[in-house]
Amino acid sequence: MAIKRSRVFAEGRVQGVGYRMFIKDLAAMYHLNGWVKNCTDGTVEAVIEGEEESVNEMIEAMYARNSYVIRVDRLITTKETPIGETGFEIRR
């Protein structure tokens, strides 16, 4: 099983709409580790680490296509070296 770590920036209507909690719930559903936070430029940043297939599936789910409140226009994703992150938290 390959471990993958990705840093993802979400652009769109992603602040003030419950997006960070949505991301935390996705991480729990996919059994992934990391964190999520709002950025001052209006984007949301997330670091996701875990089994490669699950990370890929979560990133696709981060578009929140079934939400009428959240609107993700673009996800900017970069790969990082896994560090053994445990748990998932919402950072302030």
Q: Which of 5, 7, 13, 20 is catalytic?
A: 20
Is 20 in the active site?
A: yes
Kindly tell me the sign of the dihedral angle through the C-alpha atoms of 75, 5, 92, 19: positive
Does 38 qualify as catalytic in the annotation? yes
Strand order in the sheet with 71-80: 71-80, 3-13, 44-51, 33-38, 88-91
Q: Per the residue annotation, which of 7, 13, 38, 56 is the catalytic one?
A: 38
**Catalytic residue numbers, as ranges:** 20, 38
